[in-house]
Structure 1
Amino acid sequence: MYKVNHKAVLLVFLLQIIVGGVWYASAPSIFLDRFVVDGLLARPSISLVLGFLVSVLMYLYFTAWLLSKVKGISGVGRFFLVVGLWLFAVLPNTMFVCAYLGFDSSEMIFLLSYCAINIAIAAIILPLWRSSRSIFKD
């Protein structure tokens, strides 16, 4: 792989998973009531959780790869590149899914707040912690 910092990607991934656990544990009951089936909280299946984790990891690797290909941009520019990628690619899809699932505005804001925290973690760590060496030559 190009000059992708695998340690940075894995650190961001682990931080996002930890934040996700805290976020899910502190979710208001009104948000979790939508997943209640016959009085029992419906837990997500293992395949759904693994699919989510794989998609997050793939998105982080794509972002790190994109940052490795961009030349001549400062750390601040790379920060805004990561935020812009989220604003124009991920955010519209998230809002579409929220509208499709019938989330009200408070549920949508709660979900988007989690997304904003995740993108802040990625936008701070990935652009600033660049790969120290690569076995590939430019």
Structure 2
Amino acid sequence: MYKVNKRAVVLVFILQIILGGVWYVSAPSSFLDRLTRTIEPNQLDIGLIFAFVASSFVYLMFTAWLLSRVKGFSGAGRFFLVIGLWLFVVLPNSAFLCFYLGFGISDMLYFLSYGAVNSAIAAIILPLWRSSRSIFKD
């Protein structure tokens, strides 16, 4: 079995955080109006930023751990495992959250687009850049 490639995890994490910043800056005003009702305008809560970074990291580490534990999957199989994890676990929960919060279709698609692109980044990099095997046993 392969170990978790920490360099790949760090690369994916940095790309996801950069994407998160770009995603937030380019957010439509209708989407951001929902946030300004609960947060002071022109102030982003440090707890919200920490929650975003921590949740992204935890989900990424879980994905990398899961990929290191599966056997008999090719690179394409691991790619589809990561995409399937997002499609069948994250997407339904996120869609339910959007419906619960009363998002419109365009806001919901914008919200879900970030998760889809994050999943695609992880699905491309993590399965292809696996940790090298050691000839020595642990």
TM-score (norm 2): 0.89
Go from structure 1 to structure 2 and tell me whether the alpha carbon gap of 1:65 and 1:79 turns closer, same or farther (over 3 Å shift): same
Q: Which letter maps to 1:48?
A: L
1:68: which partner in 2?
A: 68
Q: Tell me, which stretches of 5 or more residues in structure 2 are unaligned?
A: none
Report the Cα distance in structure 1 between the residues aligned to 2:55 and 2:36, rounded to whole angstroms. Answer: 25
2:29: which partner in 1?
A: 29
Report the Cα distance in structure 1 between the residues aligned to 2:135 and 2:30, rounded to whole angstroms. Answer: 51
User: 1:1-138 maps to which residues of 2 (within 5 A)?
Assistant: 3-37=3-37, 41=41, 43-133=43-133, 137=137
Q: CA deviation at 1:35?
A: 2.4
Report the Cα distance in structure 2 between the residues aligned to 1:57 and 1:4, rounded to whole angstroms. Answer: 14
Q: Residues 83 and 123 of structure 1 are in contact (CA less than 8 Å); yes or no, is this contact kept in structure 2?
A: yes
Q: Which letter maps to 1:18?
A: I
Report the Cα distance in structure 2 between the residues aligned to 1:44 and 1:110, rounded to whole angstroms. Answer: 19
Q: CA deviation at 1:117?
A: 0.9
| Total equivalences in the alignment | 136
Q: Residues 3 and 134 of structure 1 are in contact (CA less than 8 Å); yes or no, is this contact kept in structure 2?
A: no
Output the aligned Cα RMSD: 2.1
Q: Tell me, which stretches of 5 or more residues in structure 1 are unaligned?
A: none
Question: What SS does the aligned partner of 1:3 have?
Answer: coil
Report the Cα distance in structure 2 between the residues aligned to 1:19 and 1:27, rounded to whole angstroms. Answer: 12
Go from structure 1 to structure 2 and tell me whether the alpha carbon gap of 1:92 and 1:43 turns closer, same or farther (over 3 Å shift): farther
Q: CA deviation at 1:42?
A: 5.7
Identity %: 67
The structure 1 segments of at least 4 consecutive aligned residues displaced by more than 6 Å after TM superposition are none
Report the Cα distance in structure 2 between the residues aligned to 1:13 and 1:5, rounded to whole angstroms. Answer: 12
* CA deviations over 1:90-120 (Å, ceiling 9, x no partner): 1111111111111111100011111111111
Worse-superposed segment, 74-83 or 24-33: 24-33
Report the Cα distance in structure 2 between the residues aligned to 1:69 and 1:131, rounded to whole angstroms. Answer: 12
